[in-house]
Amino acid sequence: MTAIAVIALGSNLGDREATLQSAVGALGALPESSIRAVSSWHGTVALTVDGPDPERPAYLNGVALLETRLDPFQLLDGLRAIENLHGRERAERWGDRTLDLDLIAFGALEIDSEQLQVPHPRAHERDFVLAPWFEIDPDAELAGHGRIADLLLALRSRPEPGAGADPAAGGGPA
């Protein structure tokens, strides 16, 4: 069975663009897999457990669509191997990293296991996932959440964290 996997790529250490390009090449080299589309790279503020942190090195993010015959767990193993190949260290949750590869969606499949959650549990609230995904697949849907276009619009309609309830800022209290 062939599936389209949505992979989010991010890097905020080293030569970010070269790392992301190399990762895309490695994704396409996975067994029984080929790249269907890759978004442009989007610069974003680092996101930490405590929220956005402009003091941390900025990220480059993007999304790739991968056509694959691997099962989701085999693909996850492949993603981790590619991260390791690029010097990924897992010292701190949501810490700086040379490469982060997240399996966002795997067709319409839904998985909730200790090793893997698909769709990714926070994808629907992440502009840096939704915007590049929308760029390469504007008709996409995220299982359990709806159309990417609608999710992105709703996300961008909300006031920034800490913006308060200023009606001029584009919204009221949530």
Catalytic residue status for 16: no
Catalytic residue status for 122: no
Output the 3-class SS for the chain.
CCEEEEEEEEECCCCHHHHHHHHHHHHHCCCCEEEEEECCCEEECEEECCEEECCCCCEEEEEEEEEECCCHHHHHHHHHHHHHHCCCCCCCCCCCCCCEEEEEEECCCCEECCCCEECCCCHHHCHHHHHHHHHHCCCCEECCCEEHHHHHHHHHHCCCCCCCCCHHHCCCCC
Which of 36, 77, 96, 102 is flagged as catalytic? 102
Catalytic residue status for 50: no
Catalytic residue status for 102: yes
Active site positions, annotated: 88, 97, 100, 102
